[in-house]
Amino acid sequence: MHAGLTGKAALVCAASRGLGKAAARGLAAEGASVAICARSQEPLEAAAEEIRAETGAVVLALVADVSRQADVVRVVDETVRRLGRLDILVTNSGGPKAGLFGAISDADWRDAVDLVLLSAVRLCSEAVPHMRRVGGGRIVHITSVSAKQPIPGLMLSNALRPAVTGFAKTLAAELARDNILVNCVAPGYTRTERVVALAQAAAAREGAALDTIQARNIQEIPLGRMAEPEDIADAIVFLASERSRSITGTTLAVDGGYLRGLL
């Protein structure tokens, strides 16, 4: 597939590892210049260097916590100042705290709203004027299958991923005439450190072995395996590319068939 990303500039958030890093690598491999952000300098620099070495692309490493408005403003500003433009925004963050309703405090709810919902909203607020200036753009939100089907024990994700999806759908209609396309990619179980940590939490909660929990998770996937981060990245690159020019306001699940609903 020719993605048509040469000369484009992308900001990929929460990208020192996992899905964000894979998305940044995928966009860089297709010729985009990429800014990546995460909270800790060292792993972020290491990820940037790895992607530069693999792809030869320009990769900026910008330390930022996407749950803080001031960091969001600075990171978008610096991306545009140093890359000269902004065409593609991939919103992403660490996952919200896992747990049942009774174990989640008021502060946890507020933190999760900042981390999951307001990070996406604020990133779009800052990025959209720059996209308008270059005649269009692509926004891809990394959400979760929990946007469509709640996952037991993930109250915060189940409540807030649908909020991001509703925001994205509404924004897609508002920005369509600006040629700014807005979509979500909803990963299912994908082999990252986050997923291993969630399986460990479930094992501790249920007093079960880690292997048992992981085998149970995989059993629910018709393809019979977890996705790899690159599988999610491929969907993001497609939605960021010229080839997706008629797709906006949709959610693309990359889940090995996990979701049982029709839509």
Is 188 within 8 Å of 141 (Cβ atoms)?
no
Q: Is position 61 an interface residue for ligand NAD (rule: CB under 6 A)?
A: no
User: How many of the chain's residues bind ligand NAD (CB under 6 A)?
Assistant: 27
- Give whichever of 55 and 214 is closer to ligand NAD, judged by the CB atom: 214
d(CA 48, CA 35): 9
- Give whichever of 175 and 229 is closer to ligand NAD, judged by the CB atom: 229
Q: Of residues 31, 39, 73, 78, which one binds ligand NAD by CB under 6 A?
A: 39
Q: Is position 66 an interface residue for ligand NAD (rule: CB under 6 A)?
A: yes
* Paired sense of beta strands 88-91 and 9-12, if any: parallel
Region from 11-19, 128-136, 174-182, 216-224 binding ligand NAD, contact rule CB under 6 A: 11-19
Is 73 strand, coil or helix?
helix
d(CA 240, CA 244): 7
Q: Of residues 45, 52, 77, 94, which one binds ligand NAD by CB under 6 A?
A: 94
Give helix then strand counts, H and E, for the chain.
9, 7
- Give whichever of 149 and 250 is closer to ligand NAD, judged by the CB atom: 149
Pick from 189, 171, 161: nearest CA to 257:
189
Q: Of residues 122, 138, 180, 187, which one binds ligand NAD by CB under 6 A?
A: 187
Is 35 strand, coil or helix?
strand
d(CA 252, CA 249): 10
- Give whichever of 30 and 65 is closer to ligand NAD, judged by the CB atom: 65
Q: Which residues bind ligand NAD (CB under 6 A)?
A: 14-20, 37-39, 65-67, 92-95, 115, 142, 144, 187, 189-190, 192-195
